[in-house]
Amino acid sequence: MSYKLRGHKLLHHQNEIKNWQDKKMFPPVFIEFGPVGGCNHRCVHCYVQNILNTPPEMMEPDVYLRFMREIGDYGVKAIVLAGVGEPLLHRTTPRAVETAVEHGTDVGMLSNGIPLTEKNIPTLLDNLTYIRFTVNGSNKINYAKTHQTSENDWDKLLKNLDMIANYKKKSKSKCTIGIYTVLFENNLPDLLKWVKHVKSLGLDYIIAKPPNVRMDNVKMFEQLKYEKNQETLEEIKNLTSENFHVELREDLFNDAQTTKKYSECLGLPFMCAVDSDGSIYTCNWYWREKKYLYGNLKNSTFKEIWESDQKKKVLEYVGNPDSGFDIKKCGACRQDNINLFLEGLKYGRVNPGEPEGEKPKHINFL
Ligand code: SF4
């Protein structure tokens, strides 16, 4: 079964597509959520490093747990714990994951893996749909340099990956475990060794890709050229096997992310982004920007905010070509494929028919 780690899975949500076409209100299918507004690392390319707080801002535990209950009761199908920081720095996170699952929402998590412990692994692996570790290095030296951390963290990471892989084997947990490695010139020489190590642990997949770019920070770092590194990149792809998948994002090399292939952001009714202070935004490119703020969980329930006039106003701002909203300022975003599809649907270029072929895993994570 495929993970469909690129493209989108919206076609598996026909009721929501119909509601969108009929302009009816419906709960978002998917939420990106950062319970912690800070991180123990400072990756050089991290798009939120300017807004990371030290010490990290933590969502209040009672708001955190109430939110996780509310979304399931409202009908939100999936949430990924990621956002502006490291979700495992929050002590309530394992219990919050369990709570969301009990209330019917699938939960995924992105983590750098350092705060993982023997104690929190069972709750996480018994409840999460997937966990994906961000490892932007292929050895101790380049890892520490890119994550701007100590080389000891590399040893800790390897130990924690071992521990989680062993728990998965022992418990027969269904949680998918993946690795996400952003490629830079300095981690290419040991890349093959790193991917072989990940495979040897029995993890499910690795995604290898160039760094994300925003339209306004394209020159922040040197983009890797695919052709120049083709041999190494092809070699890692060849490690794909029946139980291990290498997702090499060839489509994102050579500045491919700097052009938007659509002109309207139509996908906002299907997802949103929630910050550690309880603020709910349109998406993860506009953290902490008031123009994109729907409301705050401290004062209202998720449903109240989602169905509020304030959210309607923000959508009108994004949807009105004369409002000042400029889609060209948005970076490569999670909604790109969905927006492209919805624009095609709006203008009759594609139809919303049932998806063909094998059903991918994790369809609720759009
Ligand atoms: S197109 Fe812009 S507003 Fe729409 S989801 Fe992407 S970044 Fe957000």
Residue nearest to atom 3 of ligand 1 (CA): 265
DSSP state of 26: -
> Is the separation of the CB atoms in 114 and 156 below 8 Å?
yes
Ligand 1: which residues within 6 Å by Cβ? 265, 282-283, 285, 318, 327, 330, 333, 335, 339
Atom of ligand 1 nearest to the CA of 325: 3
pLDDT value of position 257: 61
Q: How does pLDDT run across 216-228, given as a tens digit for each residue?
A: 454 555 667 888 8
Lowest mean pLDDT among 63-67, 285-289, 351-355: 351-355
Residue nearest to atom 6 of ligand 1 (CA): 333
Q: How does pLDDT run across 287-305, given as a tens digit for each residue?
A: 999 999 999 999 999 999 9
Radius of gyration over alpha carbons of the chain, in Å? Answer: 20
> Is the separation of the CB atoms in 353 and 16 below 8 Å?
no
> Is the separation of the CB atoms in 283 and 30 below 8 Å?
no
C-alpha 287 to ligand 1 mean position (Å): 11
Atom of ligand 1 nearest to the CA of 318: 3
pLDDT beyond 70 at 214: no
C-alpha 332 to ligand 1 mean position (Å): 8
Q: How does pLDDT run across 64-97, given as a tens digit for each residue?
A: 999 999 999 999 999 999 988 999 999 999 999 9
C-alpha 284 to ligand 1 mean position (Å): 8
Q: How does pLDDT run across 244-268, given as a tens digit for each residue?
A: 999 999 888 766 666 788 999 999 9
Separation of CA 171 from chain center? 26
> Is the separation of the CB atoms in 281 and 272 below 8 Å?
yes
Angle at 58 between CA 203 and CA 149, to 5 degrees: 55
Give the separation between CA 350 and CA 331, rounded to whole angstroms: 25
Residue nearest to atom 7 of ligand 1 (CA): 330
pLDDT beyond 60 at 286: yes
**262: which 2 tokens?**
């659509």
Residue nearest to atom 1 of ligand 1 (CA): 265
Give the separation between CA 362 and CA 34, rounded to whole angstroms: 20
pLDDT, mean of residues 9-30:
96
DSSP state of 274: E
Task: Count how many Cα atoms sit within 13 Å of the Cα of residue 339 in the half-sphere of its side chain.
Answer: 18
pLDDT value of position 47: 82
**Model pTM?**
0.94
As a whole-number percent, the residues of the chain with pLDDT over 70 amount to 95
pLDDT value of position 56: 84
**241: which 2 tokens?**
């096997």
Give the separation between CA 217 and CA 294, rounded to whole angstroms: 26
- Residue 153: is it exposed, middle or buried by C-beta count within 10 angstroms (0-12/13-18/19+)? buried
Taking alpha carbons only, the member of 119, 75, 68 closest to residue 98 is 68
pLDDT value of position 256: 62
- If one residue of 215, 288, 327, 337 were mutated to test the ligand 1 pocket, choosing by the most ligand atoms within 8 A of its CB, it would be 327
pLDDT, mean of residues 315-338:
90
pLDDT beyond 90 at 99: yes
pLDDT value of position 258: 63
Atom of ligand 1 nearest to the CA of 285: 7
